[in-house]
Structures are given as C-alpha cells and as structure tokens.
Amino acid sequence: MVAARSYMLFDTHQEMLDEYVYQFIVQEQDVLYNGKHIFSSVYGPVLAAQGVKFVTMSVGGDHVAQILYSASEDRFWDAHKKLDILLTEEEFGDDSFILIRSAEDIARTLCSDAVGIFAKISGGRPLQGKENLNILANLRSLYRSGLRSVQLTGNGRNRLGDGVAQECSRGRLTNFGKAVVQESDRLGMVIDSSQLSDYGFFDLAELTDSPIIDSHTGARAVCDHPRTISDERIRTIARTGGVIGVSFLSAIVAGQKEHPDTDDLLRQIDHIAGVAGIDHVALGPDYCAYQTPVNRSVIRGYANRGPWFCEFDRLTPMQSEKYPGYVEGVDYGIRTSDYITGPDHHERFGEIIPVLQAHGYAQEDIAKIAGENTLRVYTEVLR
C-alpha cells in the first residue's frame, strides 16, 4: 500500500457503503446533538485503506442488487436521502471529506487531508417525476444538493433511454433523455455513459460538447459481454476528451472465467490504452458494498431485520435476490467472488498500483491511469 499512496488514486465508480447509511440512520441524534461523525469513523477508514483521494460515489440510480438501507422503489427519495446524509455530516463538522461542487472544491481537496467526493446517480430513474410528466425539476433539485454526475441508464430501460439489456430494441435517447443531457451540460455535470446502449451512446456523443465518462466498463474486443464496449465507442469517448474506467468485475474483465486475476485486468487496460491513448484510461472497480446475507436461505424479509440478523457482510457476492447471477437482465454469473482475485474489495484497491508498475507502465502513465485523467475531466466540466 505504500506504493499506492505515492499516487493520487481516483475511483471512478463506487456504490455508497450500506453500513454507512445504516450507521447514520441509527446514530443520527448523536450527529445532530453530540458531535458524532459517522463518515470519518465508518467510511473514511475504508477509503484510507485504499489510498483513495477522490471517489465518484453513487448516491442512487436505477436499482441496486440488494434492497437494504440504501434503496426503495422511490429512486428520487433514495438519492435525496443519501445526499442529505453527506450534507448533514458536512454541516455538522466532519472535515474528513469534501462534497465537491466546483473546480475550486477540487483544488481545496488537493490542499487538504480530506477525501473528495463527486456524487452521481447510476441511472436516470431518480430524475423521473410523475408517470405522465417529464420535467427537469428533479435534476436541478439534486444538483442543488450536490449531485455532479449523471449516468443516464442502468442495464434496463428508463424514461431517458435504453440500457445494454435492451440493446435488441435499438432504442435511442428519448426526448427527455436529450433534455437531461442538455441541462446537465448547462449546469456543469459530468455525463456518464456506463451501461447505456450503443444506440443511445451515439445519440449522446452527437448531442454533448462535454467530455464523456464511461466509469465502469471493459473492452468488448477483450471480453464480449453486454457491459463491455466496442473499440468505436472507446475511440469516440477519447475524441470527446473523456475517460474509460476499467471495471474489476470478473464477468466484465474475463466473461465466464471462474477466477480472473490481474493479468486479465491488464489485458483490458492495455487494449483500452492502445485504442484510446493513455490519457483516456481510468480505474472504475465498481465495488458494490451492499450488506448481503451470507446465509442465502434467509432472504425474504431480511431488509427490516438489521445487518447482523443473518450474518451480513459486504464481501459476499452481490447477486442474492430473485434471479441468481443476474442484475436487471444482464448475467454476471454465480461466483464465489464478484471481482478479480487480488484487488477484489474496497480495502485492496490500492494493490493495482504495484501491478501496473510490475507490468512496465511508466510512472507518469500510472499517475494518469490512477487518477489524473479523471480529475482532468471533472475539473474541466465543473469549471
């Protein structure tokens, strides 16, 4: 981990820890009246163990694989709840993180010991209002609460467009999806094309003048999976000045291979660097820290019983409900671990640095992959 800390690590896509949300809920009165800081005691140590300086944190989206303390059917409410937790912690003096709203906040973070958080939604369902009315009020409201990145879809379909699981429909961005892109550009928000269908992606590329991020994906030429993207799409992102965050999910890195490792991940990184150029490669492990029941026989009703009722942890594979191995129509396989061997969970992310060093990447290129490329994009857009 010493080697990792000499680089600025930027995780381009991380789901908010369920245990952080839970601990805030049960200790809220201590936060409000007794000076308790939950982030610095629960979440901060996890990020510190990775050596992470910046993180794009998903505060909601189209769905999550588990529904514990972090999710409900009201996706707008979920996103507001999580943003409120961060804002409340910030207002009551937890200086271990900075919720970044501007380029000035980025500069302030670099001059501090705090972790910089870019809040994003992973899919546009939180932006949907009444069933028969599409307006931009939800987007602007979340922006005012600190949201700075919008991933347009998850795997499935929403009112903005189609995700990769709906590729057969050849659906493009809807009029509402286009309006969200235009308003995001006006406000100064990073647009994330992860999990968006190819048809919607090329709509997006024509519509925006801003750099595009695909925060957690892989190269289809290396692994043919619904969540990986074509070389044409990689080149298009590079032309916008954007970045491609390489996922550490086993299925995306190496398909059906039972235990992919860092050699498989390096094949992904090498290919994307060869197609896009080193200035457009980033790291988006997609660590999903849901509190998952270790005992799979105790599932129904677990959401109301607390995280220790049936021995929960956040290292058990995430596909635990309904259709094992699937997330909203995309098959990730049934595995003993969702991630490659090695840097397979939050506390081990920094192990990717010595892997890149041993592979022969130059120091300046590792710095770009580790965080400089992504930070350049956020600084440009938030300016």
Reduce the DSSP state of residue 312 to 3 states and report it. Answer: strand
pLDDT at residue 306 in the model: 47
What pLDDT score does 336 carry? 76
CATH of the domain at 265: 3.20.20.140
Q: What is the DSSP string of 247-306?
A: P-BHHHHHTT-SS--HHHHHHHHHHHHHHH-GGGEEE---B----EESSTT--TTGGGS-
pLDDT value, residue 314:
60
Q: How many residues does the chain have?
A: 383
Query: Average pLDDT of each block of 10 consecutive residues along the chain (383 residues)?
Result: 69 90 92 97 92 95 63 82 97 97 98 97 93 93 98 96 92 96 98 97 97 98 97 98 97 94 98 98 88 53 45 55 68 83 90 97 98 98 95
Distance between CA atoms of residues 325 and 250, nearest Å: 12
What's the farthest any 2 CA atoms get from each other in the chain? 55
Residue with tokens 């550009």: 185
CB 339 within 8 A of CB 249: yes
Four-point Cα dihedral 92, 286, 149, 75, nearest 10: -80
Helical pair 137-144 and 175-187, crossing angle rounded to 10 deg: 30
| Angular region, 328: left φ>0, alpha ψ -120 to 50, beta rest | left
pTM attached to this predicted model: 0.92
**According to the model, what pLDDT value does residue 321 have?**
47
**Residue 270: per-residue pLDDT:** 98
Which residues, other chains included, contact 289 with Cβ-Cβ below 8 Å and sequence gap of 6+? 14, 15, 16, 17, 18, 19, 46, 314, 346
Rounded Cα distance between 117 and 105, Å, is: 10
Q: How many domains does the chain divide into?
A: 1
* CA 202 – CA 186 distance, rounded (Å): 20
pLDDT at 125: 94
Please state the φ and ψ torsions of residue 10, each to the nearest 5 degrees.
-125, 115
Domain that holds residue 28: 2-382
Taking the CA of residue 110 as centre, how many other CA atoms within 13 Å lie in the half-sphere pointing to its CB? 14
